[in-house]
Structures are given as structure tokens and as C-alpha cells.
Amino acid sequence: MPQVSEKGRAMPPSPIRKLVPFADQAKERGVRVFHLNIGQPDIPTPDVALEALRNCRERVIEYTHSAGNLSLRRKLAGYYRGVGIDVTEKNILVTTGGSEAINFAFMSTLNPGDEVIIPEPFYANYYSFATICGVVIKTVTSFIEQGFALPPVAEIEKVITPRTRGIVIVNPNNPTGYLYSREELEQVAELVRKHDLFLYADEVYREFCYDGREHFSTMNLKGLEQNVILLDSVSKRYSECGLRVGMLVTRNEEVLATALKFGMSRLCSPAIGQLIAEASIDAPASYFKAVHDEYQERRDFLVKALNEMPGVVCPKPSGAFYAVVKLPVDDAERFARWLLEDFNYQGETVMVAPANGFYSTPGFGIDQVRVAYVLKISELKRAMEVLAKALECYPGRVL
């Protein structure tokens, strides 16, 4: 019988999506599932984006430029300048979602066997992208007891080897919601300069920073003009996850030209997606303020509700819309599956993402889950009631 590839066998399943069949089965049994497992916002997409979709008059949906429509890239450059990042359309490659931006960045700068360093827990798909490219992920651990702050730079430097080619920073962080300060990023910049590394900067959640804190972009770190590769997406910013439009942004002309060759191989990003993304950039400031305030309110409610449950620990995230939570359970993955297979409270249950899939170190995150506060307060309130009941009766509860 023909066999699948070694790379296919090595590809990890998504810790966010692998429990979906159990959620589907629960729904078939008539159980309502509160989805806290995935970063799919319930926030409405901006009206200007939906109007662009409704008013599309194209007679033929044509290929676009492999780098993305020039009009979109110019408008994106204007957006970036508006948030203090000085680039032009010549620095931007439009990709099929932020995922493709990451893939293109890795394939353009890394050879099989090369290493990149990333703080754990980290967005699980980075491991998938590294597997596709034959790249080795090396981690430094951030701990829940410190609110998932950046590990000491000295610890990061210990992981650097002759095969190290870059550092990945997700800011604000997925899955922890931690917001790296300018001072922390400056420390990373020192290592990047010292060891002549790439700095892959995932800033997809830039708009979602709370408690009056502001986002500082790695694109504004001095002396790293040729080192920084910005990875971005419209998915979360405009609540357009299904649009599949992302961006790779860099001032390094060789990297961009190389990434464009990969872009040519897939021809172009979705034409309709680019049309809607371009319109989305005109969303008014009032849209972002309302979304920001809504997420901050959800975060405040969620963190308070979780920390009031016996044995639960939830640091207060400063950005994005995720929290990594420590639960009084023997195995969070087993608990997450039990929630869907064996438990319901008044016909309802909760779906969470086991956090062990966001760690590279074996055994880490075994009692943690990632929770996405992407539901309105009334639904979050009910979800927390259901989760509290589940923790009370879970057979593997740890006292």
C-alpha cells in the first residue's frame, strides 16, 4: 500500500481544531457548544467592507498581480504610516492570509535544518510552518507565574547556535495575550544585531491593546531595517478571518523579491478578498474604538470569572483576545474532550483549546487551556457557569 510522506507524518494536528469532530458530535446530540477554542470573533465586519462586496460589479474575476493589487498595497502603506510604520507599497507583498506570509518568510530566509527561536507557549501553526520548511523550532519558556512575560534575554541567547537564523515575536501574543513592551523588544533587538539574525514580527493583533497601553512595532527598532520581516493580516483587525488576505512587509529588498517568487508560484491572492480588504481600510476610528472597548470589557469579565473558580489561575492579558488558563485538572486535553463527549450542563458545554499544543517542551501546558473571549458578555457569562460546573464534577479534578 502506498505510504504518505515523512513530512506529512511529521505535521502536527492543530490543537485548536483537532477536537472539532467531538464538538460536531455533541451538536448532533442536541448539546449547545460555546466555542472558546478558536479566534473567530463574533464582531461584525465593517460596513464599508460588506458594501464593497455587495457592490462588486466585476464581469470577470481576474488574476491580480502576484504581489497584490497596487491600489491595495498603496492603501496598506497609508494604513501603516498612520500607525507610525514608515513603508511604501514597494515594501509590501499581499499574501493569502497571514499564514502564507509566515510560510513565505520562512521559505525565503531559512534552509532545512536552520533554527528559529520563539518564546513558548506560541501559536501552534508556527510549528506546522517550520515542519513544512524543514526548520527546527527552538524555544525559551515563558511562565504563567510571571504572566507570560518575555524570558530573560540571557536565556534566549543560551539557545542560539551556529544554525540559528532568526527569532519570532508575536506581539500582542497568541496564545497568551501578553503585550511586549518597547523595552523588551529593544532587548531582543540587541540579540538580533549581535548575532545578525532575522526578526519575524507577527503583529496581527496590533489594534487590541488594553489598559491604555500602546503597541510598539518592531519595524521601528533602529538599525534593523534589513532584519525585520513583519507578518500581518486583515483577519482579526476587521473581523474577516474567512477573507484570507495577509501581508508580508519588509524593507529588505532581497527578501521581498525572493518571497515574490513564491507568490508567483501560487499566482495571486484572492481577488475578491483584496477588493474587500482595500475597502476595509476605510473603516472609521469609531469602529475600532467600539471593538477595542468590547474586547476589554469581555477580558475583564472573563479573567474575574475564571479566577473566582477554585484552583483556576488566569493572568490578565494586555492584548489580543486570548488567555492561557491553568485548571485544576489532571490533563487539559482529556478534560477538553470530556467536555464534548461526556458532559453537559442543562444541555450546554464549552469547547477550549488544550494548551499543551502551544508548547514544544514535552509535558508543559498539560494543565492549561487557551480561551478566546470572542463571544458577547451574555454568552461568556453562561459559558463560565457551565465551565465552573464542569470543573466541579470532572473525574480527573486535582484538588
* Domains identified in the chain, total number: 2
SS3 content of the chain, % helix, strand, coil (to 5): 40, 15, 40
Q: 238 and 90, same structural domain?
A: yes
pLDDT of amino acid 54: 96
pLDDT value of position 17: 83
Taking residue 395's Cβ as centre, other Cβ atoms within 10 Å add up to: 10
Residue 298 sits in a domain of what CATH number? 3.90.1150.10
pLDDT > 80? residue 171: yes
377 and 237, same structural domain? Answer: no
Is 80 exceeded by the pLDDT of residue 267?
A: yes
- The domain of 357 spans 6-44+286-393
Helices (H), 173-266: 182-195, 253-265
Does residue 140 have a pLDDT over 80?
yes
pLDDT digits (tens, 9 = 90+) for 20-35: 999 999 999 999 999 9
Among residues 253, 280, 307, the one where a domain terminates is 280
CATH number of the domain bearing residue 168: 3.40.640.10
pLDDT of residue 206: 97
DSSP character at residue 345: B
Inside any domain, residue 399: no
Regarding whether 247 and 101 lie in a shared domain, the answer is: yes
| Same domain, residue pair 219 and 93 | yes
Query: What percentage of the chain exceeds 90 in pLDDT?
Result: 96
pLDDT of residue 12: 84
In-domain check, residue 1:
no
Q: Are residues 170 and 298 in the same domain?
A: no
Q: Are 216 and 203 in contact (CB under 8 A)?
A: no
Q: Round to whole Å and give the CA distance between 1 and 161.
A: 41
Q: Please list the residues that pair with 116 across neighbouring strands.
A: 137, 166
Tens digit of pLDDT for each residue in 64-79? 999 999 999 999 999 9
Q: State the average pLDDT for the chain.
A: 96
What is the distance between the alpha carbons of residues 333 and 380, in angstroms, rounded to a whole number? 21
Residue 257 and residue 136 share a domain: yes
Task: Report whether pLDDT(96) > 80.
Answer: yes
- pLDDT over threshold 80, residue 199: yes
Question: Region 191-219: what's the mean pLDDT?
Answer: 98
Q: Which of residues 41 and 18 earns the better pLDDT score?
A: 41
Query: Are 328 and 242 in the same domain?
Result: no
Q: What is the pLDDT of residue 13?
A: 81
Task: Supply 256's cell numbers.
Answer: 521581498
> Residues 101, 14: one domain?
no
Q: What is the DSSP letter of 308?
A: T
Q: Where are the beta strands (DSSP E) in the chain?
A: 32-35, 92-95, 115-120, 136-141, 164-170, 198-202, 228-233, 246-249, 322-326, 348-351, 353-354, 368-372
pLDDT at 399 over 90: no
Which residue in 95, 111, 112, 110 sits closest to 266, CA to CA? 95
pLDDT band, residue 132 (cuts 50/70/90): very high
194 and 129 share a domain?
yes
pTM for the full predicted model: 0.95
Are residues 183 and 172 both part of a single domain? yes
Same domain membership, residue 310 and residue 245: no
Of residues 281, 220, 287, 198, the one with CA closest to residue 247 = 281
pLDDT bin (cut points 50, 70, 90) of residue 337 is very high
pLDDT digit string, tens, across residues 45-54: 999 999 999 9
Which SS3 state, helix, strand or coil, does residue 200 take? Answer: strand
- DSSP H helices in 225-331: 253-265, 271-280, 285-307
Q: Is residue 132 part of a domain?
A: yes
Q: How confident is the model at residue 18 (pLDDT cuts 50, 70, 90)?
A: confident
Is the predicted pLDDT of residue 16 greater than 80, yes or no? Answer: no
Whether 39 and 53 share a structural domain: no
